[in-house]
Amino acid sequence: MKKVKLKVPATIANLVCGFDILGMAIHEPFDVMELKLLETSEIIIRHTDDFGLPEETSKNVAGKVLLKIQEELHLKNGFEVIIHKKIKPGSGLGSSAASAAGAAFGANWLLGNILSKEEMIYFAMFGEELASGVKHADNITPCIFGGITLIKSSDPIDIIPLNAPDLFVTAIHPQVEVKTSDARQILKKNILLKDAIEQWGNIAGLVAGIQNNDFGLIGRSLKDVIVEPVRSILIPKFDEIKEKSLGLGALGGGISGSGPSVFMLSENEKISYEIAEMMKSVYRTINIESFAYVSKVNPKGIEIIEE
């Protein structure tokens, strides 16, 4: 029976100012997914974690993706999926995207690599829609492409892979939950033109800085005047962590996806670990458990670890 085992990385969406259009893959944490191609049409989902995610196919993110692939490709085969989830749901580190992207990537491999990366993203977006109510691809895309990606359009899908600068990423996940669907509901429906102009400048500056390895420009562009001021109120000690990170030498950073995780970019590993220790210390003062990760940008995205 044909099978594949995948390492599916966490991702950081938005990169501060690029709401729904920028994303970055990191090395840790990551999920492991095992997929088998079945002779029957059944789709079986199993979890080995304790997060209580549904295993009913139509209610599971990976299951939703596989159902859509089965439907649109008119498949007689089904799939069995075992998910060893280490990216905690509601962390802001692309947990649902990992399941969705892993399902699309694994199914494609089992079927003989018949789909393009863009087609895999198309199918994976149905899983994200189940999780958050919106077909967004800012986590899915770097998971499949690796590195840093720009979504020029999600309908039709138009992806621009960007340079992966030699930067270190520090991410902290305080053990509080922020649901993506909830974090979207509090966003403003209308924004001022002056704020939009400032945001466009930051996005353009960030992309230019990434492409040219201009760390100074990256730092100056990691500013969000639209989403962060609203969502940051959901994250304990956000302002303190950001201010102290910049004081330690971070280029900049902000909310990872919809939160509660926070990330910072740094030029060297020493600063990254100092930021991680500071972040954990801040959360200890208010008795909130947290997990910190230090990683470089992950240029590969999903990897096959066993066939």
Over the stretch 121-167, which tens digit does the pLDDT of each residue have? 999 999 999 998 889 899 999 999 999 999 999 999 999 999 999 99
At 182 the pLDDT is 67
CA–CA separation, 307 vs 305, rounded Å?
Answer: 7
Q: Is the pLDDT of residue 178 over 90?
A: no
Instruction: Out of 34, 57, 180, 228, pick the active-site residue.
Output: 180
Q: Where are the beta strands (DSSP E) in the chain?
A: 3-13, 22-38, 43-47, 78-84, 148-154, 157-162, 168-174, 252-255, 262-266, 290-296, 303-306
Q: What is the largest CA-CA distance in the chain?
A: 58
Following CA atoms 122, 126, 127, 132 in sequence, which dihedral angle do they give, to the nearest 10 degrees?
120
The question of whether 56 is a catalytic residue gets the answer no
At 188 the pLDDT is 73
Does the N-terminal peptide bond of residue 156 adopt cis geometry, omega within 30 degrees of 0?
A: yes
Q: Is the pLDDT of residue 36 over 80?
A: yes
Q: What is the mean pLDDT of residues 221-249?
A: 94
CA 160 to each of CA 56, 120, 151, 181, 293: distance values in angstroms, whole numbers, following the listed order: 35, 15, 6, 26, 27
Instruction: Spell out the residues 6+ positions from residue 112 whose beta carbon is closer than 8 angstroms to its own.
Output: none
Number of other residues whose CB lies within 10 A of the CB of residue 215: 18
At 187 the pLDDT is 76
Percent of the chain with pLDDT over 70: 98
At 181 the pLDDT is 66
Q: Partners of 162 in the beta sheet?
A: 148
CA 106 to each of CA 69, 126, 183, 251: distance values in angstroms, whole numbers, following the listed order: 11, 16, 30, 36
Q: Is the pLDDT of residue 307 over 80?
A: no
Number of other residues whose CB lies within 10 A of the CB of residue 122: 22
Banded model confidence at residue 186, pLDDT cuts 50, 70, 90? low
CA–CA separation, 17 vs 199, rounded Å?
Answer: 7
The question of whether 80 is a catalytic residue gets the answer no
Residue 192, classed as helix, strand or coil, is: coil
Instruction: Spell out the residues 6+ positions from residue 66 whose beta carbon is closer than 8 angstroms to its own.
Output: 43, 57, 78, 79, 81, 103, 107
Instruction: Out of 80, 128, 228, 274, pick the active-site residue.
Output: 128
Percent of the chain with pLDDT over 90: 89
Query: Does 106 or 191 have the greater pLDDT score?
Result: 106
- Cα dihedral 153, 161, 92, 48 sign: positive
What is the average pLDDT score of the chain?
95
